[in-house]
């Protein structure tokens, strides 16, 4: 329960809706209890007057008496109807306030979680599965909403109804009250346990359902592989197995569900029988009237739902508490990489120094960068080359503070980047990642992601510089072409170039390209390199690559191995070293020659 205390701040901010909702609940209940009271009065009126009616039935007074009596009955009937309408109206208002409040809280909570996710470090996302993060914001939040909305609504109705009805019952006859109420706690307990079983089974079904969905999703995405390896039957069997267990669980849930209604009917029946039996004896002894008995039967029926909802509300609260606990755990995680106190935004000219930098990935213990030293001067173009896994991407990640090194420091314009604001730092660097990610949106908007204010001319210019404009214009919708599941499928090279255009449109002083030309052919690569050369004239650029761009005059080329610089110099200097670089260059030349000759 203590976990749910985190939600109190929302109750405070929606206090007026909450107070109004509770007030409407109370008013609606007050109107609803008039019905049994009036039924009692009708019954008593009837039983008191029935003898006189019989006596008068043979006289001329009968007509007058009958018309008066019918008038009284009609009055009661209309009053009951009016009270029922009033009660219903306030019930409507109660839902309008409490359920609407819960929707507002759900909205706020979702936004709070989403915004918190955005602040967390990459490390957090590496350590949690996407599905897990999604379910916090969807399933857990909807369970919590059941607490802040329906549970509060049912609980308040239950409390008000029980208090008012039990008070009215006690006024009539305490002994009868005791007997009538005795089966109801069992009802509440049974509903609680049955509800728990239903919930456990539903959870299992939910997991099986999401398993079926991901099997289907995976086989549709991987349909080319399935067909080319003739695995359609195996894939269908896999799906069938998952569906079979889903079916079994659903049938088992249906059986438990079927218990629900009979249990309710049994408990209501038991209470009514007890009321009529004990009440009948009390009527014979003259302790209560027939009207009281009728009133009691209605009370019993009115109390059924509140007792039923005690069980339901208890399990709703239990589930909400478990979900809120999970949400709290996430919300309490603080990002390690944030603005330090006194952080400043400093204009960056491209002077970058790495001093004795070492970095180990915290969750795997892999040392990716080891005692690294490098000085890049403003306007320099630096190539970073090295085998796969040598630490090239990690180096890029450290420069934009996706991670902080455990040892050493990184300086930009002689400021430790830890003392700069994160937005100031990242805003002045364009990072084109190795794994391209494009959003399901138009091509123009994907490029504009680098500069949301850019007009279409700027977008086109960036596309031209990234040598992808011609490709884009070949699509029917041009720059307005939708990408993603329902849009066009782009080739790997086209995606990479759109991602480069996104980096270029930002137009910062520092650019980092992380192996982002791996999927383009040699001719396109040449064109882009040519364009980049002009674009990067006055900028500082770090180009991480697997291939040597001999046409690009780098000020410095560094060769990485196991997170350390093993070779450093210009193209000519490195060739003369006869090391990894010259070997790579010779291999590349041979491949190109073979490619030309074949």
Residues forming the site for ligand ATP (CB under 6 A) = 126, 361, 364, 366, 368, 386, 388-394, 434, 515
Other C-beta atoms within 10 Å of 189: how many? 14
Closest by CA position to 304, among listed 178, 183, 197, 194 = 183
Task: Give the residue with the Cβ less far from ligand ATP, 441 or 562.
Answer: 562
Q: Which residue, 441 or 568, has its beta carbon nearer to ligand ATP?
A: 568
Q: Is 221 buried (19+), middle (13-18) or exposed (0-12) by CB count in 10 A?
A: exposed
Least Å distance, CB 536 to ligand ATP, is 21
Cα 276 from chain centroid (whole Å): 52
User: Smallest distance, Å, CB 389 to ligand ATP?
Assistant: 4
Residue identified by tokens 């008191």 is 48
Burial of 215 (0-12, 13-18, 19+ CB in 10 A): middle
Element (H, E) at 62: helix 62-119
**3-state DSSP call for residue 412?**
strand
What token pair was written down for 455?
Answer: 């007009």
Q: Which of residues 66 and 126 has its CB atom nearest to ligand ATP in the complex?
A: 126
DSSP state of 121: -
Indicate the residue among 61 and 366 with the shorter CB distance to ligand ATP: 366
- Residue 416 beta carbon to ligand ATP: minimum distance, rounded to whole angstroms: 22
Name which of 388 and 474 has its Cβ closer to ligand ATP: 388
Q: Rounded to the nearest whole angstrom, what is the least distance from the CB of residue 585 to ligand ATP in the complex?
A: 17
Give the span between the Cα atoms of 534 and 504, in whole angstroms: 12
Tracing tokens 């589930």 back to the chain, one arrives at: 319
CB of 364 to ligand ATP, least distance (A): 4
State the minimum distance, in angstroms, from the CB of residue 514 to ligand ATP. 7
- Main-chain phi, psi angles of 468, to 5 degrees: -130, 0
Give dist(CA 411, CA 391) in Å, integer.
19
Q: How many Cβ atoms sit within 10 Å of the Cβ of residue 136? A: 21
Select from 170, 420, 385 the least CA-distant residue to 295. 170
Residue 366: count of CB within 10 angstroms of its CB: 13
Of 351 and 515, nearer to ligand ATP (C-beta) is 515
Is the CB of 392 or the CB of 502 nearer to ligand ATP?
392
Task: Kindly provide the residue ranges of all beta strands, DSSP E only, lying in 174-224, ordered along the sequence.
Answer: none
At closest approach, how far in Å is the CB of 124 from ligand ATP? 11
Q: Are 511 and 541 in contact (CB under 8 A)?
A: yes
Closer Cβ to ligand ATP, 205 or 557, answer by number: 557
Q: Residue 399: count other Cβ atoms within 10 Å of its Cβ.
A: 20
Nearest-approach distance from CB 14 to ligand ATP, in angstroms: 41
Please provide residue 214's backbone torsions phi and psi, each rounded to the nearest 5 degrees.
Answer: -70, -30
Shortest distance (Å) from residue 127 CB to ligand ATP:
9
Three-state DSSP state, 428? coil
For ligand ATP, give the closer residue by CB, 518 or 531. 518
Q: Could you give the 3-state DSSP secondary structure of residue 209?
A: helix
Min dist. Cβ of residue 517 to ligand ATP (A): 13
Give the nearer residue to ligand ATP in terms of CB position, either 345 or 434: 434
Least distance between ligand ATP and beta carbon 358 (Å): 13
DSSP code at position 140: I
Token pair recorded at residue 409: 């420091």
């Amino acid at each position: 329960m203590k976990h749910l205390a985190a939600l109190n701040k929302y109750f405070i901010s929606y206090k007026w809706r909450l107070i109004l909702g509770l007030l409407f609940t109370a008013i609606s209940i007050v109107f609803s209890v008039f019905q049994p009271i009036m039924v009692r009065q009708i019954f008593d009126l009837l039983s008191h007057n029935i003898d006189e009616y019989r006596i008068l039935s043979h006289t001329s007074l009968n007509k007058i008496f009958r018309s008066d009596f019918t008038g009284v009955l009609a009055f009661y009937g209309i009053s009951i109807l009016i009270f029922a309408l009033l009660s219903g109206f306030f019930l409507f208002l109660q839902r309008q306030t409490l359920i609407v409040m819960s929707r507002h809280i759900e909205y706020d909570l979702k936004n709070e979680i989403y915004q918190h996710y955005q602040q967390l470090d990459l490390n957090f996302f590496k350590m949690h599965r996407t599905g897990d993060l999604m379910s916090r914001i969807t399933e857990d939040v909807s369970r919590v909403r059941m607490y802040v909305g329906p549970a509060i609504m049912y609980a308040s109705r239950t409390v008000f109804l029980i208090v008012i009805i039990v008070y009215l019952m006690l006024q009539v006859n305490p002994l009868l009250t005791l007997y009538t109420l005795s089966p109801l706690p069992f009802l509440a307990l049974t509903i609680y346990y049955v509800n728990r079983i239903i919930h456990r089974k539903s959870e299992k079904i939910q997991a099986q359902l999401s398993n079926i969905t991901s099997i289907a999703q995976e086989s549709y995405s991987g349909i080319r592989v399935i067909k080319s390896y003739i695995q359609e039957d195996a894939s269908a069997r896999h799906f069938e197995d998952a569906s079979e267990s889903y079916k079994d669980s659903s049938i088992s849930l249906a059986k438990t569900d079927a218990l629900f209604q009979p249990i309710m009917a049994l408990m209501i029946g038991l209470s009514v029988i007890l009321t009529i039996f004990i009440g009948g004896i009390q009527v014979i002894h003259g302790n209560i009237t027939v009207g009281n008995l009728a009133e009691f039967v209605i009370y019993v029926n009115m109390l059924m739902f509140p007792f039923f909802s005690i069980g339901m509300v208890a399990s709703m609260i239990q589930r909400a508490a478990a979900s809120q606990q999970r949400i709290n755990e996430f919300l309490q995680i603080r990002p390690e990489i944030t603005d330090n106190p006194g952080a400043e935004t400093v204009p960056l000219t491209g002077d970058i120094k790495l001093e004795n930098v070492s970095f180990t990935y915290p969750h795997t213990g892999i040392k990716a960068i080891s005692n690294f030293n490098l000085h890049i001067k403003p306007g320099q173009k630096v190539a970073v080359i090295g085998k796969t896994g040598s630490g090239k991407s990690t180096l890029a990640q450290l420069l934009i503070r996706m991670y902080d090194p455990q040892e050493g420091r990184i300086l930009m314009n002689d400021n430790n980047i830890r003392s700069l604001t994160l937005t100031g730092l990242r805003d002045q660097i364009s990072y084109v990642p190795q794994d391209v990610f494009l959003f399901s949106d138009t091509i123009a908007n994907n490029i504009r992601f680098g500069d949301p204010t850019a007009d279409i001319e700027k977008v086109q210019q960036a596309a031209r510089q990234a040598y992808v404009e011609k490709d884009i214009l070949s699509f029917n919708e041009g720059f307005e072409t939708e990408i993603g599941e329902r849009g066009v499928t782009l080739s790997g090279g086209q995606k990479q170039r759109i991602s480069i255009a996104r980096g270029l449109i930002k137009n910062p002083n520092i650019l980092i390209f992380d192996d982002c030309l791996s999927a383009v052919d040699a001719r396109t690569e040449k064109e882009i390199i040519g364009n980049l050369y002009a674009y990067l004239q006055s900028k500082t650029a770090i180009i991480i690559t697997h291939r040597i761009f001999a046409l690009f005059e780098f000020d410095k080329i560094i060769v990485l191995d196991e997170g350390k610089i093993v070779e450093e110099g210009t193209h000519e200097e490195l060739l003369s070293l006869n090391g990894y670089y010259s070997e790579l260059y010779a291999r590349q030349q041979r491949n190109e020659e073979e490619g030309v000759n074949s």
